[in-house]
Amino acid sequence: MVKRRKQKRWLVLLLLLFFAGWGSYKQLRSWLVQPETVLVLGGAEEREHYAAKLAKQEPDVNVVVSSGSPEWYAKKIFEQEGIERDRVYLDYRAQDTVTNFTTLVDDLKAQEIDSVYLVTSENHMTRARVIGEIVFGSRGITLKPIAVPTEFPDESWQKSVRDGARSLLWLTTGRTGSSFRDHLPRRFHSSEVPELEHRAEQLGH
């Protein structure tokens, strides 16, 4: 009995060391590898403004906006910062945060992109990183997170767990389980709706 307990303790210790080492490796890689693209997650126009300023500072980096502002308005944001149109790709396939990543990961990999700046709101970053590490990590793409300040409160951990599970489902089946959200308690639902309403007010729609 004592021997089994010791074996379990060693197993737990080895697992902890493995995950700690993997986390350190991922962190080190994100520092060393220069991002080649800015990935902006739609949901608040402040993210696109921030990305436009970042693109101005990084002239060799292109921008991908996933389901952000309407096309005419998004183009205006980047034009105001002097960003050439051929540096900005607007993609509207995503329906939520999980599909922000799953709809683009293979496109980016096909372009041999190995590292991206991940731009989203501060309160949304934890969930976005959980998803991104699973989905993009499966293709060897490193994330360098850049959080945009927001007045909205942090999201609940349940949403990160939910979308982490959906990301693992995508890895194994190719499906994101988007309809699964409708059967979950309200606390598991996305908090991005207030931000979308806020954006609509600013756009005058």
Average confidence (pLDDT) per 10 residues, the chain, 205 residues: 59 56 50 86 97 97 98 97 97 97 98 97 97 97 96 94 96 83 51 40 35
173-201 pLDDT, tens per residue?
999 987 555 545 555 444 443 344 334 33
CA 117 vs CA 39, 70, 142: distances in Å:
6, 22, 9
Q: List the structure tokens of 75.
A: 């183009």
When the candidates are 1.25.40.340, 2.40.50.140, 3.40.50.620, 3.30.300.30, the CATH number that belongs to 32-203 is: 3.40.50.620
32-56 pLDDT, tens per residue?
678 999 999 999 999 999 999 999 9
pLDDT of residue 177: 82
Would you call 118 helix, strand, or coil by DSSP? strand
Query: Domain coordinates of the chain in residue numbers?
Result: 32-203
Q: Which residue has the tokens 């190719």?
A: 174
